Amino acid sequence: MASPVCSRIAVIVLFLAFIVIDSGAELPLKRFEYKFSFKGPHMAQKDGSVPFFEFGGSALASEDQIRVTPSLRSKRGYVWTKNVVPFPHWEVELIFRVSGRGRVGADGLAFWYRTDKGREGPVYGSTDRWNGLGVFFDSFDNDNQRNNPFILTMLNDGSKNYDHNSDGQTQQLGGCLRDFRNKPYPVRAKVEYYKNTLTLWFNNGMTESDMNYELCMRAENVILPANGYFGISAATGGLADDHDALKLLTHSLTVPASELPKPDGRITEEERQKFTREYDEYYEKLQKQKEEFRKLHPERVAGIGVEDFEDPNVRDLRLIYEGQHGIHQTIRELNRKLDEIIGRQERTLSTLSSVQSGGGTHMGGGGGGTPQMIDTIKRHEVDNVLNTQREISQSVRDIRSIVNDVQQKTGAIHLNQGQGGRAGDGLDFKLLVNELQDNLKLVKKDISYLTSKPEPRLPTCPDLPELPNCLSAGHFYFFMILQIVVILGYISYKHKQEVNAKKFF
Ligand SMILES: [Ca+2]
Ligand SMILES: [Ca+2]
């Protein structure tokens, strides 16, 4: 039960917060100033100009942006409002893109509010010694302090030269180290000058949102000259970036009436007479109109009385009462809706729990359903559920018949295997298996015999060379020739012996 209470408290706190914000709001009144703004689409006209702006140098306007400089070396471009800014407080949002192929870019882009239109010059494409404010988006690290890209604000009264060599670090009013180059979305800078306070917010372009602003700098007691011009300028150097201004959105800021200095109550006699005269004239006119109304609508005259014209105080009270009544009604309505939602949740939970505890009860025909079920479940939903259940039971029946079929076939196979003595395939199969088993046994036996048998003695050459069991071909021929020579020698010897013996006889 804690959640509904919390919800109601949250709603009430929200209302109170709105009331507090409303009553305590001291935000300036904002008005969009189209003569000091540009944005796409159709930004550039047919002749290439942008209404209420003038530009020069390398600046070029297209449908949806002004390319202040292209990514070419040593370029300078500038854009200025044609008219003098007539309002003392303002907020300017600049949406731009600085993109280049290099890891480091140059030189940077500047937003200006100054008393002259600083055409082509050395300070980010504009002239030096300005009178007013410069907000510099400095890409290139001239002083090698590894602190660029840097966003820097600088005031000047027309006497100072911007020090490029130190990146203006000693001259700045304030700034922040932020990378604004090559971001997925255009980056945004919002400059506000209100009641002598200068504030700069920066959106780093990592998202498309125009809300992700973070504070870059704030300075109080800043006095900017009146009647200045807004401008944008940019420059490239040895390195070059595209500097594209996509939008410039200017709002004038007005101090709320509650904060304006109260009149001291004294008015001149002339003004008093003028107001009195105006009041008399108005009163006479009103009386005349009442008379005319009475003449035109005599039937309603009786109903018109003093009570038809209410006192201003009474009217204020009535408006307050009506407002409170409206809030009261809204809270009651919210309460009612909350109760309704909680009731629905509880019903859903009870339905779920009843289904979980006794899922089969609703299948018997719905007679046992709770009253809430009858209230919430429609006829066609019940039909749908019944149809689905019918389909499911049909599927179950199909599956059961398939399973039976499979069981029967499996049983038949088992039977065939069990009755191995019968003729037919079963017999052949068994014979084949027996044969295979016998063969396998034989093979196994052979293998075990072979593995257990000692290694056969291979014929080897004798250790002694004089008893060769095996001969090489050379030895064989040698002994053969020797034998022939011995036999021939023996034959010739014997023949000689016989010849000698014949000589003695
Ligand atoms: Ca620099
Ligand atoms: Ca630097």
Helices (H) then strands (E): counts for the chain: 8, 16
pLDDT of residue 416: 58
Q: Tell me the mean pLDDT in the region 360-380.
A: 50
Q: How far is the CA of 109 from the centre of ligand 1 (A)?
A: 10
Share of the chain above pLDDT 90, in %: 43
Please state, in angstroms and rounded to a whole number, the distance separating the CA atoms of residues 97 and 244: 5
Q: For residue 73, which amino acid is it?
A: R
CB distance 135 to 153 below 8 Å: yes
Q: How far is the CA of 136 from the centre of ligand 2 (A)?
A: 12
pLDDT of residue 363: 41
pLDDT of residue 344: 85
DSSP string covering 161-211? ---GGGTTTTT-SEEEE---BS-SS-EEEEEEEETTEEEEEEE-SSSS-S-
Say yes or no to pLDDT of 450 above 80. Answer: no
Residue 474: pLDDT band by 50, 70, 90 thresholds?
confident
Please state, in angstroms and rounded to a whole number, the distance separating the CA atoms of residues 338 and 6: 11
Q: Which residues does 114 contact at the CB level (< 8 Å), separation at least 6?
A: 130, 131, 132, 133, 134, 156, 225, 228, 229, 231
Say yes or no to pLDDT of 429 above 60. Answer: no
pTM above 0.75, yes or no: no
Residue 145: pLDDT band by 50, 70, 90 thresholds?
very high
Q: How far is the CA of 202 from the centre of ligand 2 (A)?
A: 19
Q: How far is the CA of 152 from the centre of ligand 1 (A)?
A: 10
Residue 163: pLDDT band by 50, 70, 90 thresholds?
very high
Residue 454: pLDDT band by 50, 70, 90 thresholds?
low
pLDDT of residue 77: 97
Peptide bond into 465 cis (omega under 30): no
Highest mean pLDDT among 139-148, 250-259, 276-285, 479-488: 139-148
Q: How far is the CA of 22 from the centre of ligand 2 (A)?
A: 45
pLDDT of residue 32: 96
Residue that wins the pLDDT comparison between 329 and 463: 329
pLDDT of residue 443: 65
Please state, in angstroms and rounded to a whole number, the distance separating the CA atoms of residues 43 and 55: 13
- Per CATH, which fold does 29-257 belong to? Jelly Rolls (2.60.120)
pLDDT of residue 56: 95
Q: How far is the CA of 167 from the centre of ligand 1 (A)?
A: 5
Say yes or no to pLDDT of 460 above 70. Answer: no
Q: How far is the CA of 145 from the centre of ligand 2 (A)?
A: 5
**Residue extents of the structural domains in the chain:** 29-257
Please state, in angstroms and rounded to a whole number, the distance separating the CA atoms of residues 400 and 394: 10
Q: How far is the CA of 166 from the centre of ligand 1 (A)?
A: 8
Say yes or no to pLDDT of 282 above 50. Answer: yes
Q: Tell me the mean pLDDT in the region 326-352.
A: 87
Q: How far is the CA of 347 from the centre of ligand 2 (A)?
A: 68
From residue 232, alpha-carbon distances to 14, 56, 441 in Å are: 43, 11, 100
Write the pLDDT tens digit of every residue in 64-114. Answer: 999 999 999 999 999 999 999 999 999 999 999 999 998 899 999 999 999
Say yes or no to pLDDT of 305 above 80. Answer: no
Q: How far is the CA of 139 from the centre of ligand 1 (A)?
A: 6
- Spell out the long-range contacts of 143-149 with Cβ–Cβ below 8 A and sequence spacing 24 or more: 143/167, 143/169, 145/169, 147/177, 149/105, 149/108, 149/177, 149/178, 149/179, 149/180, 149/181
pLDDT of residue 16: 43
Q: How far is the CA of 135 from the centre of ligand 2 (A)?
A: 15
pLDDT of residue 458: 45
pLDDT of residue 14: 46
Share of the chain above pLDDT 70, in %: 76
Say yes or no to pLDDT of 20 above 80. Answer: no
Task: Return mean pLDDT, the chain.
Answer: 81
Q: Tell me the mean pLDDT in the region 232-251.
A: 96
pLDDT of residue 354: 79
Ligand whose nearest atom lies closest to the CA of 144: 2
Q: How far is the CA of 141 from the centre of ligand 1 (A)?
A: 5
Say yes or no to pLDDT of 372 above 70. Answer: no
Least confident range of 13-22, 122-131, 304-313, 337-346:
13-22
Say yes or no to pLDDT of 308 above 60. Answer: no
Say yes or no to pLDDT of 13 above 50. Answer: no
Residue that wins the pLDDT comparison between 131 and 299: 131
Q: How far is the CA of 197 from the centre of ligand 2 (A)?
A: 26
Ligand whose nearest atom lies closest to the CA of 164: 1
Least confident range of 108-112, 169-173, 321-325, 373-377:
373-377
Say yes or no to pLDDT of 164 above 60. Answer: yes
Residue 272: pLDDT band by 50, 70, 90 thresholds?
confident
Q: How far is the CA of 107 from the centre of ligand 1 (A)?
A: 6
Q: Tell me the mean pLDDT in the region 404-424.
A: 62
Write the pLDDT tens digit of every residue in 185-202. Answer: 999 999 999 999 999 999
DSSP string covering 275-316? HHHHHHHHHHHHHHHHHHHHHH-HHHHTT--GGGS--HHHHH
pLDDT of residue 352: 83
Q: How far is the CA of 111 from the centre of ligand 2 (A)?
A: 19
pLDDT of residue 258: 72
pLDDT of residue 469: 54
Buried b / exposed e over 212-241, threshold 16 CB at 10 Å, is ebeebbeeeebebeeebbbbbbbbbbebbb
Least confident range of 234-238, 295-299, 372-376:
372-376
pLDDT of residue 440: 73
Write the pLDDT tens digit of every residue in 45-60. Answer: 989 999 999 999 999 9
Cβ neighbourhood burial of 150 (10 Å; 0-12, 13-18, 19+): buried
